[in-house]
Structure 1
Amino acid sequence: MSRLEEKTLSTEPIFEGKIIKVQVDEVELPDGKRSKREIVKHPGAVAILPITKDGKIVMVEQYRKPLERTLVEIPAGKLEPGEDPEQTAHRELEEETGYVCEKLTHIISFYTSPGFANEIVHLYLAEGLSKKENAKAADEDEFVELMEMTLEEAEQYIKENKIADAKTVYAIQYLKLKKGNRL
């Protein structure tokens, strides 16, 4: 047990939705005082960095309601109950892009906002892509436009704030390092 650990004294469920749960925990701080923590529980997600045979990145553009705008992102999706992250990556790649891959490599797993949420994203590199006939359909409430771009184009999209989500920026920086250092 860390000397910085906060002991949970009580948990009050606030909301349970399709994707997230929200709760308020009363905690005992390391100095013995009490405080409240608003916590978002998320099942976890995957993000996929798909690279075509000619070295282009497969991206999706979709509307993000919390931001009231579209973003260009790498394909991603939440884990289903009991689903292994690698299975989710294969499923989401096919559903969002119509591609399947020969090789899927785990890059890293990271927390998106640990100050208030437990969401973890498992980032994968997908290589050896091929279009699948009769690919799995995207979720019925999900509308995306497929794009392919070079690393340089992706970096320009970051500068223009067209790519502005952490998972995609992280993936682009990884790819830049990999290209420069031959990781």
Structure 2
Amino acid sequence: MKFESIKKVLTGKFIHRYDITYRVSDGSQKVYEMISRNPNIQTHEELQGKKPDAVVIIMHDKKNEKILLNREFRLATGAWVYNFPAGLIDQGEEPQQSAARELREETGLTLDRVCDIIPMSYSAIGFSNETNVCVVGIASGAFHQSTSAVEEIEARWYTKEEVRQLIATQPFAARTQAYCYLWSRQDNA
């Protein structure tokens, strides 16, 4: 495919809609609709982005026996979905700082230790160029309600058996489901 152009179609508060035109192998044009966090994409190179938009927070308890999950009402689906805590990286923040802030805001927990930072990946490649990094670590503390009135979140620790039951019966965000599936089957194969 050969990139031809990009045109901004709609400006939103948090996301922006673009039409990207490509020339495909049979010579015809393909106009692809996508959304982005970037309010001003003008070139093909700017589609890929150079730094992450958001952080995904994968936390385990101090004994590494449980994983932290949010059961959150997601406005886009109109339903409760299991997901890792996550959020946008604020201007001037490093991913580790964003992870600590978002974890505290969404759950009340404290980020005790970062064990790994999984490099940048795409959040929803089918319709967006949004990128994120995953911060993997250890958290502790007492749970409290989200500090945001527009976020309905029930955060708690789950064992591997509880996660297996949730995966079989409840809706998940894809990345959370994939990680939890693998994690819940470690040492059980």
SS of the aligned residue for 2:76 comes to helix
Identity %: 26
Q: 2:179 — aligned with what?
A: 171
Deviation of residue 93 (structure 1)? 1.1
Selected match of 1:139 from 138, 148, 151: 148
Is the 1:24–1:36 contact (alpha carbons within 8 Å) kept by the matching residues of 2?
A: yes
Structure 1 residues without counterparts, runs of 5 or longer:
none
Is the 2:57–2:84 contact (alpha carbons within 8 Å) kept by the matching residues of 1?
A: yes
Take 1:116 and 1:15, find their aligned partners in 2: how far apart are those partners?
15
Q: 1:65 — aligned with what?
A: 75
Take 1:42 and 1:167, find their aligned partners in 2: how far apart are those partners?
19
1:94 matched to 2:104? The reply is yes
Describe the superposition over 1:7-58 as per-residue Cα deviations: whole angstroms up to 9, x where unpaired: 233x322222222110112233355432211111136321111111242222
Q: 1:52 — aligned with what?
A: 61
Deviation of residue 123 (structure 1)? 1.7
In the comparison of the two structures, how many residue pairs are matched? 172
1:124 matched to 2:124? The reply is no
Is the 1:108–1:124 contact (alpha carbons within 8 Å) kept by the matching residues of 2?
A: no
Is the 1:58–1:149 contact (alpha carbons within 8 Å) kept by the matching residues of 2?
A: yes
1:18 matched to 2:26? The reply is no
What amino acid is aligned across from residue 3 of structure 2 in structure 1? K
Deviation of residue 167 (structure 1)? 2.1
Q: Which moves more between the two structures, 57-66 or 107-116?
A: 107-116
Is the 1:94–1:136 contact (alpha carbons within 8 Å) kept by the matching residues of 2?
A: no
C-alpha spacing 1:39/1:59, structure 2 compared with 1 (3 Å): same
C-alpha spacing 1:141/1:172, structure 2 compared with 1 (3 Å): same
SS of the aligned residue for 2:156 comes to strand
SS of the aligned residue for 1:91 comes to helix
Structure 2 residues without counterparts, runs of 5 or longer:
39-52
Take 1:32 and 1:81, find their aligned partners in 2: how far apart are those partners?
42
TM value normalised by structure 1 = 0.79
Q: 1:112 — aligned with what?
A: 123
Deviation of residue 84 (structure 1)? 2.4
Take 2:145 and 2:158, find their aligned partners in 1: how far apart are those partners?
23
Take 1:115 and 1:137, find their aligned partners in 2: how far apart are those partners?
29
Deviation of residue 122 (structure 1)? 1.6
CA RMSD of aligned residues (A): 2.7
Structure 1 runs (4+) deviating above 6 angstroms are none
C-alpha spacing 1:171/1:108, structure 2 compared with 1 (3 Å): farther
SS of the aligned residue for 2:31 comes to strand
Deviation of residue 87 (structure 1)? 2.0
